[in-house]
Amino acid sequence: MTSPFSFTISSTDKVARRGRVTTAHGTFETPAFMATATAATVKAMMPDAVRTTGAELAICNTYHLMLRPTAERVAALGGLHKFMDWPGPIVTDSGGFQVMSLSKLRTLNEKGVTFRSHLDGSAHELTPERSMQIQHLLDSDITMAFDECTPHPATREVAAQSMRMSMRWAERCKKAFVKRDGYALFGINQGSIYPDLRLESAAALTSLDLDGYGIGGLAVGEGQEKMFATLDAVIPALKAEKPRYLMGVGKPDDIVGAVMRGVDMFDCVMPTRSGRTGQAFTRRGTVNMRNARHLDDPRPLDEKCGCVACTRHSRAYLHHLFRGEEMLGPILLTAHNVHYYQDLMRGLRGAIETGTLDNFAAVFYEEQARGDIEAIE
């Protein structure tokens, strides 16, 4: 028998929370960083390799999967968990952001969005009801409401119109969502960087009594200071007993700051995308493995990291792979980056449990500031 969807908080440190989410396909610990499997795959990694990093939660994308291979085909093949060999919890983004950023000749109105595919130019329509249907066919544990990702920068008037339409869409999503034990629908808070609009959006979502909250429309160019100010404004207005998911974030220092403000869930393409282009995330900041200074360096990328790239290979070897355009380079560096992000989340969870989050953050920022020029001690 499937357990109901639930979020339990086991520890707090000021407003930061340490918790566990229970879904139809198992549990995941929070704060959590999702494995980004946009098109039902974490690029350059086998599912078992992703799991060994400690990742418990994957995120896939409605827009990409509705176009290829189609949600109906995934459903006929047993659902997304079986299709991609991921038995654990899965979140699906609603497709709203990708419709705005990738599609061609889109037309937006109250009903939804009509657009042409970036793949082949074919015509499609995505509405709140169709987004719910697609995510149901995919069998995702956490369904995200269909929204318009407000462009940045946006005037207050544009941001207000966009947010209010997204809130009307959220109401339609709730009506179309098929309630089942272990499955959840999250609304998405919008309002750009305007605190009063964010609070209006929060009030609309809390009145719908959804299962959790996405916080969207951030990390789109507004800068970290404004992003944190927005979180400071809106998080107190969201029900404390429900999980909060900061969408599309992001850089390690963004994550640490957001956890300290009470965020529970994160996703971003950055670890995998950077891994494919030669950028590694380490406790000393980012490292470009194409840089010639690694040519003769026998050290591991980070001697405190337990990933396969760090325990079995040198910087010189990683540099060689990228300079030679060998496929193994992106594979190893992606595995390292995903492992680094999961290590960061483990550290944050442990710090909240022990009430030492301020100290953890101070050490984190100090090490990041030192950079990688010095030898890793």
- DSSP codes joined into one string, 3-34: PPPEEEEEEEETTEEEEEEEETTEEEEESEE-
Give the model's pLDDT for residue 115. 87
Query: Residue 2 — very low, low, confident or very high, per pLDDT cuts 50/70/90?
Result: confident
| Domain parsing of the chain, residue ranges | 6-268, 279-369
Catalytic one of 211, 264, 267, 343: 267
In the chain, what percentage of residues exceed pLDDT 70? 99
Give the model's pLDDT for residue 101. 76
Query: Residue 374 — very low, low, confident or very high, per pLDDT cuts 50/70/90?
Result: low
Give the model's pLDDT for residue 372. 86
| Whether pLDDT at 102 is above 80 | no
Q: Which of 372, 350, 344 minimizes the C-alpha distance to 53?
A: 344
- From the DSSP assignment, how many helices (H) and strands (E) are in the chain? 15, 17
Instruction: Tell me the C-alpha to C-alpha distance, in Å, between residue 247 and each of 179, 187, 218, 351.
Output: 23, 12, 8, 23
Across all residues in the chain, what is the average pLDDT?
96
Give the model's pLDDT for residue 375. 46
Region 205-224: what's the mean pLDDT?
96
Contacts of 333 (CB under 8 A, 6+ apart): 274, 275, 276, 278, 279, 280, 289, 309, 318, 322
Region 287-305: what's the mean pLDDT?
96
| Whether pLDDT at 97 is above 90 | no
**β-bridge partners, 329:** none
Catalytic one of 13, 93, 343, 372: 93
Does domain 6-268 bear CATH number 3.40.1380.20?
no
Q: How many CB atoms lie within 10 A of CB 89?
A: 26
Which stretch of DSSP H or E encloses residue 79? none
Instruction: Tell me the C-alpha to C-alpha distance, in Å, between residue 98 and each of 62, 95, 258.
Output: 9, 5, 24
Give the model's pLDDT for residue 163. 97
Q: Is 93 a catalytic residue?
A: yes
One-letter amino acid identity for 313? H
Q: Give how far the C-alpha of residue 182 lies from the chain's centroid of Cα atoms, to the nearest Å.
A: 20
Residues 133, 128: Cα–Cα separation, whole Å: 9
Q: Which tokens belong to 256?
A: 């640490």
294, burial (CB in 10 Å: exposed 0-12, middle 13-18, buried 19+): buried
Q: What angle do CA 236, 356, 374 make, to 5 degrees?
A: 110
Contacts of 288 (CB under 8 A, 6+ apart): 278, 279, 280
| Whether pLDDT at 175 is above 80 | yes
Q: Is 232 a catalytic residue?
A: no
Which stretch of DSSP H or E encloses residue 189? strand 184-189
Query: Residue 209 — very low, low, confident or very high, per pLDDT cuts 50/70/90?
Result: very high
One-letter amino acid identity for 176? A
Q: Which tokens belong to 302?
A: 């980070």
Query: Residue 218 — very low, low, confident or very high, per pLDDT cuts 50/70/90?
Result: very high
| Whether pLDDT at 168 is above 90 | yes
| Whether pLDDT at 341 is above 90 | yes
| Whether pLDDT at 373 is above 70 | no
Q: Which tokens belong to 6?
A: 């639930």
Query: Residue 118 — very low, low, confident or very high, per pLDDT cuts 50/70/90?
Result: confident
Residue with tokens 């987004």: 131
Give the model's pLDDT for residue 377. 43
